[in-house]
């Protein structure tokens, strides 16, 4: 016991010098103003990672089937609430961290202007995370939420309307465009250095801090989010949304470009993404469906000779007999039962073996297996092009211009194919990679009659189709596109699945406000449309 006490005293005696050393180690040489908010900010960035159960129950079990980006081979699970609880809980935990950072910024004894950049980054994170959750559930607690540490008055926050939330966040992102300072080593008019998260900016950590490239990316991310969500609400409130589209497109404000896709990168951020292969191996039922297959191949030749879109071989692979076979979107009594083990990790050492009863094409194994080099996607340059293409095609905020629409669409498809090829190329474990096309070969592929907008009789449909395909690993985005337009590729009648029901914990922990919200909605049901839906 005495020996233990001596050891403990020694640790305490060393604490001051350890603290000093850590301060020196963590000091950012390019930003002399230091804060204690960096690690907390990075905690919020880390919360952008997709949850295990969210992927299993919300994406694989529900959204891939609803959007028909894939097909389920059998009746699935009824435990969707496991996924909704995780997504809901992840958001509100991160929201509390965001509120805490905001409070710490308010308390800092610096010029307000010196806080502009860190406030801007925080607003972008808040917007991305909140838009994503409100699009899944609709109205939600927001303005008073995440403030329980401030007062018990906020312990059970009221629900706010999706319209209020959307407009608030879009105004916040406009603030970012107006206030973020992307010059190297910015200072206020009086010479005070801007406060910075420094190397705790783990979202764009591949950029060099000294020339503020990361802040340029934050600005581009903010404007790209403005495009996405202004377009999403344009049918509901064109007077609010169209000026946003006009400002960004007509003024050529900076947006995400090719090679700047917003992603969560396990390799760069030093984490292992074990959740994806788990969600596929445990779920087991996802295969290439007939709907998406017919957007990638001009015929049903099992040797793949009809494939005209190079992304087909990145998204999917052949069955156990090395044949391309889609699972019918609506199987009948004569449809053979699917089985096999195409997502089993035995394939690491015995890749061809997918199980004798694997009759239909699964997702590409390496796309869901690679835990280090396959990113989680938040926003692509291709999506930005497709949004602009739709704006020009429909004259939304900008003058209708078919030529501009065609150009943006073509750039979008090229950007999408290039991005997905780079995903495959960047994987260290991906064997038997599909052919990597040159830029000229990609443009040639885009001239295929099924991809070319110049010869299409329904140019807007083609824009929606390609935006839907680009969102292959963002099924929540494809889901929003379908709900807004009703025009993404589909076989059969669309389901009345317009939102996720609130997780049971909200009814238990916030009963009065939950009950009031359900009363306003009429029913906490997937059949209840979210605000921005036509």
**Looking at residue 77, what is its pLDDT?**
67
Quickly count: other Cβ atoms within 10 Å of residue 320's Cβ: 19
- Bridge partners (DSSP) of residue 262 are 379
- Residue 363 backbone phi and psi in degrees, to 5: -60, 150
- Bridge partners (DSSP) of residue 193 are 187
Distance CA 288, CA 115 (A): 48
- Bridge partners (DSSP) of residue 140 are 160
Distance CA 72, CA 362 (A): 11
The CATH class of the 34-275+373-521 domain is mainly alpha
Mode of pairing for the β-strands spanning 262-264 and 376-379: antiparallel
Structure tokens at 172: 């916040």
**Looking at residue 442, what is its pLDDT?**
96
Distance CA 126, CA 115 (A): 16
Distance CA 378, CA 115 (A): 26
Distance CA 19, CA 22 (A): 5
3-state secondary structure of 286: strand
Burial 450-489, CB ≥16 within 10 A → b, else e = ebbbeebeebbebbbbbbbbbbbbbbbbbbbbbbbbeebb
**CB contact at 8 A, 316 and 364:** yes
Distance in angstroms between the alpha carbons of the first and the last residue of the chain: 72
**CB contact at 8 A, 336 and 363:** no
pTM for the structure as a whole: 0.92
Structure tokens at 86: 């995780």
Distance CA 97, CA 147 (A): 9
Distance CA 15, CA 324 (A): 63
List the chain pLDDT tens, one digit each, 534 residues. 333 333 333 333 333 333 333 333 333 333 334 448 999 999 999 999 999 999 999 999 999 999 999 999 998 767 999 999 999 999 999 999 999 999 999 999 999 999 999 999 999 999 999 999 999 999 999 999 999 888 888 889 999 999 999 999 999 999 999 999 999 889 999 999 999 998 888 898 745 445 578 899 999 999 999 999 999 999 999 999 999 999 999 999 999 999 999 999 999 999 999 999 999 999 999 999 999 999 999 999 999 999 999 999 999 999 999 999 999 999 999 999 999 999 999 999 999 999 999 999 999 999 999 999 999 999 999 999 999 999 999 999 999 999 999 999 999 999 999 999 999 999 999 998 999 999 999 999 999 999 999 999 999 999 999 999 999 999 999 999 999 999 999 999 999 999 999 999 999 999 999 999 999 999 999 999 999 999
- The crossing angle, in degrees rounded to 10, of helices 162-179 and 213-232 is 150
Quickly count: other Cβ atoms within 10 Å of residue 437's Cβ: 15
- Bridge partners (DSSP) of residue 376 are 264
Distance CA 90, CA 48 (A): 9
């Amino acid at each position: 016991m005495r020996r233990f006490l001596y050891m403990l005293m020694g640790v305490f005696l060393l604490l001051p010098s350890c603290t000093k050393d850590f301060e020196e180690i963590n000091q950012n040489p390019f930003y002399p103003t230091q804060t204690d908010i960096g690690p907390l900010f990075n905690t919020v960035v880390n919360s952008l990672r997709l949850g295990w159960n969210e992927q299993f129950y919300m994406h694989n079990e529900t959204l891939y089937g609803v959007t028909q980006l894939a097909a389920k081979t059998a009746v699935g699970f009824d435990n969707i609430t496991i996924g909704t609880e995780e997504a809901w809980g992840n958001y509100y935990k991160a929201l509390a961290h965001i509120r805490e950072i905001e409070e710490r910024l308010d308390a800092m004894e610096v010029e307000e202007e010196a806080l502009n950049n860190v406030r801007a980054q925080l607003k972008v994170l808040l917007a991305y995370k909140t838009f994503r959750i409100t699009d899944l559930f609709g109205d939600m607690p927001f303005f008073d939420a995440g403030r329980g540490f401030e007062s018990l008055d906020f312990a059970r926050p009221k629900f706010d309307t999706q319209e209020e939330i959307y407009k608030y966040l879009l105004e916040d992102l406009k603030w970012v465009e107006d206030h973020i300072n992307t010059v190297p080593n910015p200072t206020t008019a009086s010479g005070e250095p801007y406060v910075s998260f420094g190397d705790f900016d783990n979202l764009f950590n591949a950029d060099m801090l000294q020339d503020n490239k990361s802040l340029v990316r934050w600005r581009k991310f903010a404007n790209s989010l403005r495009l996405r969500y202004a377009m999403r609400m344009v049918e509901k409130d064109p007077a609010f949304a169209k000026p946003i589209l006009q400002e960004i497109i007509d003024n050529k404000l900076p947006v995400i470009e090719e090679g700047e896709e917003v992603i969560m990168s396990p390799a760069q951020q030093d984490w292992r993404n074990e959740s994806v292969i788990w969600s596929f191996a445990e779920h087991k039922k996802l295969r290439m469906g007939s709907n998406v297959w017919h957007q990638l191949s001009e015929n049903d030749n099992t040797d793949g000779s009809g494939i005209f879109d190079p992304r087909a071989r990145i998204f999917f692979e052949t069955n156990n007999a090395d044949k391309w076979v889609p699972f019918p979107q609506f199987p009948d009594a004569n449809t053979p039962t699917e089985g096999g083990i195409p997502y089993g990790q035995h394939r690491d050492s015995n890749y061809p073996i997918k199980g004798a009863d694997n009759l239909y094409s699964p997702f590409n194994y390496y796309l869901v297996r690679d835990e280090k080099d396959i990113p989680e996607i938040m926003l692509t340059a291709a999506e930005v092009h497709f949004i602009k293409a739709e704006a020009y095609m429909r004259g939304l905020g900008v003058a209708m211009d078919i030529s501009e629409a065609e150009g943006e669409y073509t750039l979008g498809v090229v950007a999408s194919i290039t991005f997905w090829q780079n995903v495959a190329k960047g994987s260290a474990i991906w064997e038997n990679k599909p052919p990597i096309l040159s830029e000229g070969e990609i443009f040639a592929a885009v001239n295929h009659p099924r991809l070319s907008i110049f010869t299409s009789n329904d140019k807007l449909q083609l824009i929606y189709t390609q935006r839907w395909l680009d969102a292959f690993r963002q099924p929540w985005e494809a889901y929003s596109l379908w709900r807004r337009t009703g025009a993404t590729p589909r076989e059969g009648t669309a389901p009345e699945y317009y939102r996720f029901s609130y997780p049971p914990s909200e009814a238990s922990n916030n009963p009065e406000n939950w009950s009031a919200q359900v009363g306003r909605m009429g029913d906490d049901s997937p059949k209840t449309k979210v605000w921005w839906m036509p």
